[in-house]
Structure 1
């Protein structure tokens, strides 16, 4: 049976009355390394499994760039493109930057499927239930046909390093357990005793594809011979089965007869050791390592495994909890709640569930030592996933980590911080070879191998292939990590990455005719303008997003300049700071157009090819930047609101989440409510190849629909909810941080409480409010500090002592 209602708040449980049909209906579990989608079938159940290190490709040598581009000529081509921009020749500028393209990122791959077949089970039962407990990170389903009752639980244990499936049956049942894959399984082994079995196989990921649009085999194609050991990622899969039934083991599956319980453990181990480390391809070693994980896990009972897993998960999950009034009818399925809220708008606690879900997915998908979350987190069933399920660094990878700091999961951003070191190492060569610049650069896409070059085959549109500010944007998270945690050790580790991105900016800024600094050639991520001939164009000079990101990074370097990163070493040296100060004095700010909006292209009011475009990169200064808000820059804040209004109310799922964060910073509660309601709109699955740039929302599982599935919106939504409740990005002229409580409370959230949110300055905040007004707030700082606490327009200075809660009652 499902968890008792008394033990499980509806705000932390997803529940359904049918098994998953589409993959996006299934429920995600993970331990950072292993991810799985749990379908909850009766006659046949599927658990689709990923390993975060299973990508196509391998460590790369430096590529040959562009179409017929000779080595060493890239800076010359770039200079010619800059001259074309200055001459107003947009088509020539775009043709020139296309010559710098040098291939594509690699694709994240599925690993295996675990199937449990019960030939005697009904396909549908009246009392079927399926659920995911976010507070326990356990998925389950149960059913009864009046004679036999079945209950199954599935979780991915971080302590055990294994996937755990446990099934309990009222009457003895015959089952078949098997593992399959769209990749070829080879070196399959199986062994068994009357009540137990082991099974193992090796899987090798494809190498670089010759078809830029197809990183894996064509759908339905027969499996080919695996790559040679070391040519692609090799992954070992090991399975252990324990039961009270009678076991017959075959390489094609494990037959279990007359069982009343069954526990399956599955572990994986690959030879991926980092973006710049070779692949050894030693299958025997990997199988031994995966089997050792299972041997250790198998020494513990299921109950012990479950208790250790739940304790590990709750140590992170329970730090933050949000309660909102206006809950659903008891027992209502999650997809029914989505439909009901769309019709009535009365289920405020649905937003609290989606908020908790984003935190849950962060814990499940990103743990120290793993790779960072990609476009689909760590969950993907397709050999050819949308957008390769890669790292898209012009918003999406960054958005994946927006809630990690504000919702008290700072440990979970370690994979991003560590991967950025690999990205910077690769990006130094790209900066030197293309731009003749110091520091490092990253463009539109990357992958497990830290791809940093302009994406494409020499003919792809410049609006997304040429954008050298990926590293500039990503480094904001490193600065944020220090601001939220005060961890000088992490800042010391991040220092080369941050300063490298700053050096690239300083080396590539160009002097404009009016003496200011700008960027050229430049694009505004994925957006286009109309040229004088009425055709779309993307390459120009000084896009607003470039200028805002450059100013944001250099301001961060200047602010951190004197921080001691160890042994009396300051964060930045004087020669670099002199360049930073000169650049900051010459970088222009955002410009307001005649129609009251913020200009996306800084030098001219260019007409937009897509007025309702999903990207709003020119609002970077609002969020995730901190330079524009209604107090510090009221005119720009008003222009930003006008810009959002012109973008419209419809967009992709992740864009709606971004707009929620922007509305929160601009203190627009009605606009925030509209973004929340649009995001929590049920989207029916229509197939993985269907791409929509309008009408996003969530699937039945609450996973974000671009559509298709793209997980960044889940994280962006959670971050946006936190921004609605507390903000701490402002610093007054005397250096005191301002903590703004309930800065943008949506109208439907009149009553509620939250505990454990974090703000910059290493401060934890608990809040309770009623009828839209704050009742109490408690601030607890990690170190002694002075803050200005703002409630509405009232401000009061408070001196916080490290570790001692300070309670405020307006």
Structure 2
């Protein structure tokens, strides 16, 4: 009996592990029709095919019977923009715009609302907006493998993706014959690999490749197909190359005049694909990679290594990253396919899979490439993708990288750092030419891979994004405490702070505000000036972000012992910033004026950014502002787009309402996801995937508060408070400049701050906390059973659980402690 019970437990554990890490389907994805190519709102291939990626080179496979379609992407391939201009022009900024900046500001000072000829929007468009094309992320190539098989003849079809190993599989039978395809995109060897095998049969395959771009060369010769092409640009087309090598054993391979390969009577066919563009992240040229040599060299090396070793090294690479953080919720595996699981509605099984899938997408779309994941991560098949598949800096790019810290994928952050170095270099020209600011750098609303930092082409979308982008940059240091990394990013942080110190200007009450700006992407005074009345001054979100940036800069300056004079300037500037205000409905005001509409259900809730991903609104430190945030959340409602639903998950977690956070995560996973679990914005945007998993992490562990009074035994007295009441107006909260001791203040680890009642039992391994810590947590009946806290560096911290705050705990690197509800240290 004991043996049977043990066997059943083993089988159940195996089924649960499979369910947590496998997407599975009993039919192919839809073909990628021309109608879908021309209209990104038409669902099909992109929403059903399964994604592979090594952070640079991506692929999706359909699992088609008669023809397999492998869509290829390379993350640096852009089109319809410019590169190789002089260093000023390459930024995209309008040369000499600063000469008219005072004219633009005057329209704000005189409050010219609306969209008329002399409005804030119109003058910003006329004098500041860029006239240079942003361009868009582009598809790369399409590889097709024709099999000659017919759907009517097959049985036992299965298409799956093992996200723990990063391996896709297609399997089916024809009579007694078995056919299997295996796919992966290798980071160690930088190639996409496929294998086709047949048992009790042979295969006759035709392989060909094409591109939506201008093809300058395609040839099949021997065992290879070489394609070269160029993506159209307004200046200097991007050159690219794809090379395919086919190993069919002793089977016959015939090179065709049309550039295809025919394989006859094969039982085992291995396909290796290497591909590069001529892009290099060197401002302002952004080219000169020897893409031909790199493609040839990479392909040659992969073929020499061989399929088996490539696959083993790839699987070890991906599984090691996936194992760094594991969520295990208590559920009975359903055994149904993934599309059926989604169709059945919310379930703990789906929620667990979604968490792990987002981590897989992060591993696949962001590793060591020179540019970060974009609005669609890595995967795009449209010459005109939704929102250009670009870098939106009013939430989306930042959200793509929220979970790399908490969900323990810090190496995925490297492309973001590389990108910010380029942006800071380019942004110096935008700061000077657009606004006449000699020090620091500025970034607008949209970015591309060519250093575009200019104000948006439309004056309605004026925004300064440096503070938002730097938030992620400093968070990476907060989690690692890596002083060498802080040295690396310090010039970027300082440059952003320098820009804002110069850009801030006094408003009617004498406080300092940012303008031009907006509150993404919302309107105000709609009855008076229309639904496009969006340009404003002192939008609360940006004021919050500037405080966040200034506080981070002060800490960086102290830690590195740099720039004491400028540090003092920043410290003196903080109390002069416009206060955060509670409005007539008890809400956090979105603007300095009380313009909020309680029936406004806009998807953006940017003015709660101090709640998340910021750290300055908290029920534990700023209860009045947190209660006001609660009112705002209720006003905005529960139904929203994918990424907005994900952000609301994080908001409610930070408000310590686990069941409400869970409600949004449920909606995200069951109602805002496509069949392949891509986020349903609609159409597809990947930020919802990443933001949702970040929200789960926030439900289980929070570490954003700092202890500045280590003698205090309650968190209200111990924690740093970023906003305080003024004596003049009890609804105004003035920003607080931190003391320099903030640099050494312990982080406070809040265990299970928003655990949903639906997740009564479970565990999580490898969550990261600020201060250089990793945490494993187990709970049962909604109560903490045990937490193990590991120091990845010499760490000092405090633990907060069930209203109790520990004393300061010091751990040496490599040492761990256990913590439970009875711990008193």
CA contact (8 A) 1:275 1:450 kept: no
1:358 — aligned with what? 358
Q: 1:135 to 1:513 in 2, by over 3 A?
A: same
Distance in 2 of aligned mates of 1:42 and 1:351: 31
CA contact (8 A) 1:323 1:349 kept: no
1:304 — aligned with what? 309
1:789 — aligned with what? 799
Deviation at 1:7, TM superposition (A): 9.4
2:57 — aligned with what? 34
Distance in 2 of aligned mates of 1:66 and 1:233: 18
Q: Aligned runs of 1:236-385 on 2, under 5 Å?
A: 236-244=241-249, 245-250=251-256, 251-278=258-285, 286-329=291-334, 331-340=335-344, 342=345, 345=346, 347-385=347-385
Distance in 2 of aligned mates of 1:301 and 1:448: 34
1:693 — aligned with what? none
Distance in 1 of aligned mates of 2:441 and 2:422: 11
Which has the larger displacement, 589-598 or 765-774?
589-598
Matched, 1:14 2:14: no
List per-residue Cα deviations over 1:223-278 (Å, max 9, x = no partner): xxxxxxx9211111111000132111124311011111110000012210115253
User: What secondary structure, in the 3-state scheme, does the structure 2 residue paired with 1:649 have?
Assistant: coil
Deviation at 1:514, TM superposition (A): 2.1
Deviation at 1:733, TM superposition (A): 2.3
Deviation at 1:295, TM superposition (A): 1.1
Which has the larger displacement, 83-92 or 633-642?
83-92
Q: Aligned runs of 1:727-766 on 2, under 5 Å?
A: 727-734=702-709, 735-766=745-776
Distance in 1 of aligned mates of 2:92 and 2:109: 23
CA contact (8 A) 1:328 1:337 kept: no
CA contact (8 A) 1:77 1:96 kept: no
User: What secondary structure, in the 3-state scheme, does the structure 1 residue paired with 2:581 have?
Assistant: coil
CA contact (8 A) 1:234 1:281 kept: no
1:101 — aligned with what? 129
Deviation at 1:383, TM superposition (A): 0.6
> Alignment partner for residue 174 of structure 2, among 136, 145, 152?
145
5+ unaligned residues in a row in structure 1: which ranges? 209-229, 565-569, 683-696
Matched, 1:231 2:260: no
User: What secondary structure, in the 3-state scheme, does the structure 2 residue paired with 1:681 have?
Assistant: helix
1:521 — aligned with what? 516
2:814 — aligned with what? 803
Distance in 1 of aligned mates of 2:582 and 2:692: 28
List per-residue Cα deviations over 1:66-108 (Å, max 9, x = no partner): 99x8x53x23433222222222211421111112211332211
Backbone CA RMSD of aligned residues: 2.0
1:776 — aligned with what? 786
Distance in 2 of aligned mates of 1:466 and 1:306: 48
Q: 1:448 to 1:112 in 2, by over 3 A?
A: same
User: What secondary structure, in the 3-state scheme, does the structure 2 residue paired with 1:561 have?
Assistant: helix
Q: 1:443 to 1:65 in 2, by over 3 A?
A: closer
5+ unaligned residues in a row in structure 2: which ranges? 1-12, 31-43, 710-744
Deviation at 1:304, TM superposition (A): 1.2
Q: 1:791 to 1:144 in 2, by over 3 A?
A: same
Distance in 2 of aligned mates of 1:740 and 1:275: 42
User: What secondary structure, in the 3-state scheme, does the structure 2 residue paired with 1:563 have?
Assistant: helix
CA contact (8 A) 2:113 2:529 kept: no
Deviation at 1:6, TM superposition (A): 5.5
Deviation at 1:620, TM superposition (A): 0.9
Deviation at 1:450, TM superposition (A): 1.5
> Alignment partner for residue 709 of structure 1, among 661, 684, 703?
684
CA contact (8 A) 1:32 1:363 kept: yes
CA contact (8 A) 1:78 1:96 kept: no
Which has the larger displacement, 526-535 or 653-662?
526-535
Deviation at 1:5, TM superposition (A): 5.8
Deviation at 1:315, TM superposition (A): 2.1
Q: 1:754 to 1:281 in 2, by over 3 A?
A: closer
Matched, 1:512 2:538: no
1:577 — aligned with what? 567
Matched, 1:185 2:174: no
User: What secondary structure, in the 3-state scheme, does the structure 2 residue paired with 1:18 have?
Assistant: coil
Distance in 1 of aligned mates of 2:486 and 2:288: 35
CA contact (8 A) 2:92 2:454 kept: no
Deviation at 1:40, TM superposition (A): 1.1
Distance in 2 of aligned mates of 1:636 and 1:579: 27
2:674 — aligned with what? 699
CA contact (8 A) 1:443 1:454 kept: yes
User: What secondary structure, in the 3-state scheme, does the structure 2 residue paired with 1:50 have?
Assistant: strand
User: What secondary structure, in the 3-state scheme, does the structure 2 residue paired with 1:718 have?
Assistant: helix
Distance in 2 of aligned mates of 1:524 and 1:202: 44
Matched, 1:629 2:618: yes
User: What secondary structure, in the 3-state scheme, does the structure 2 residue paired with 1:413 have?
Assistant: helix
Q: 1:90 to 1:279 in 2, by over 3 A?
A: closer
Distance in 2 of aligned mates of 1:327 and 1:179: 43
Is the helix fraction higher in 1 or 2?
2
Q: Aligned runs of 1:592-741 on 2, under 5 Å?
A: 592-607=582-597, 611-682=600-671, 697-734=672-709, 735-741=745-751
CA contact (8 A) 1:34 1:163 kept: yes
Deviation at 1:639, TM superposition (A): 1.0
Distance in 2 of aligned mates of 1:233 and 1:487: 37
Distance in 1 of aligned mates of 2:800 and 2:684: 39
Distance in 1 of aligned mates of 2:410 and 2:644: 24
Distance in 1 of aligned mates of 2:576 and 2:504: 10
User: What secondary structure, in the 3-state scheme, does the structure 2 residue paired with 1:637 have?
Assistant: helix
TM-score normalised to the size of structure 1? Answer: 0.89
1:590 — aligned with what? 580
Deviation at 1:120, TM superposition (A): 3.0
User: What secondary structure, in the 3-state scheme, does the structure 1 residue paired with 2:299 have?
Assistant: helix
1:174 — aligned with what? 204
CA contact (8 A) 1:542 1:603 kept: no
User: What secondary structure, in the 3-state scheme, does the structure 1 residue paired with 2:566 have?
Assistant: helix
Deviation at 1:185, TM superposition (A): 2.1
User: What secondary structure, in the 3-state scheme, does the structure 2 residue paired with 1:643 have?
Assistant: helix
Deviation at 1:64, TM superposition (A): 11
List per-residue Cα deviations over 1:106-163 (Å, max 9, x = no partner): 2111111111111134357441111111110001110112232111110001111100
CA contact (8 A) 1:619 1:640 kept: yes
CA contact (8 A) 1:753 1:768 kept: yes
Deviation at 1:670, TM superposition (A): 2.1
Which has the larger displacement, 56-65 or 302-311?
56-65
Deviation at 1:647, TM superposition (A): 0.8
Q: Aligned runs of 1:397-546 on 2, under 5 Å?
A: 397-437=397-437, 438-456=439-457, 460=458, 462-463=459-460, 465-468=461-464, 470-530=465-525, 533-536=528-531, 537-546=533-542
List per-residue Cα deviations over 1:177-231 (Å, max 9, x = no partner): 1111111222223221xxxx111121111113xxxxxxxxxxxxxxxxxxxxx92
